[in-house]
Amino acid sequence: AQSVSQHNHHVILSEAASLELGCNYSYGGTVNLFWYVQYPGQHLQLLLKYFSGDPLVKGIKGFEAEFIKSKFSFNLRKPSVQWSDTAEYFCAVTINQAGTALIFGKGTTLSVSS
């Protein structure tokens, strides 16, 4: 069965610091990878996704993620965080190649102080 591991449970940064959140998945075949974000009091929303092609994908609000197949990783990055980036971040992977459902990691809470 697919699984997703997010290594950081809670990350605390100051504004303008750089961010990298780790994500590893278990499936050895073709994968579709996602990062979702949940701002306080809001629904989860899609941040970015990777299906194929360029392993460096760019999402909304200046976020990007790099797919490294050899490491089974899909880490999320942002060069300079803002207070408004305070949220919970979830890495997710499709359960099969057809993409019929998503398996989520346990989430990483990011707290940014101004």
Partner 1 sequence: DGGITQSPKYLFRKEGQNVTLSCEQNLNHDAMYWYRQDPGQGLRLIYYSQIVNDFQKGDIAEGYSVSREKKESFPLTVTSAQKNPTAFYLCATADRGLINSPLHFGNGTRLTVT
Instruction: Determine the Cα–Cα distance for residues 45 and 53; give it in Å rounded to an integer.
Output: 23
**Binding to partner 1 in span 67-106, by CB under 8 A:** 90, 94-95, 98-106
Whose tokens are 């200046």? That residue is: 62
Binder to partner 1 among 32, 64, 72, 77 (CB under 8 A)? Answer: 32
User: Using the rule CB under 8 A, is 49 a contact of partner 1?
Assistant: yes
Query: What tokens were used for 18?
Result: 């750089």
Query: What tokens were used for 55?
Result: 């392993």
Judged by the rule CB under 8 A, the positions of this chain that interact with partner 1 are 1, 6, 9, 32, 34, 36, 43-46, 49, 51, 90, 94-95, 98-107
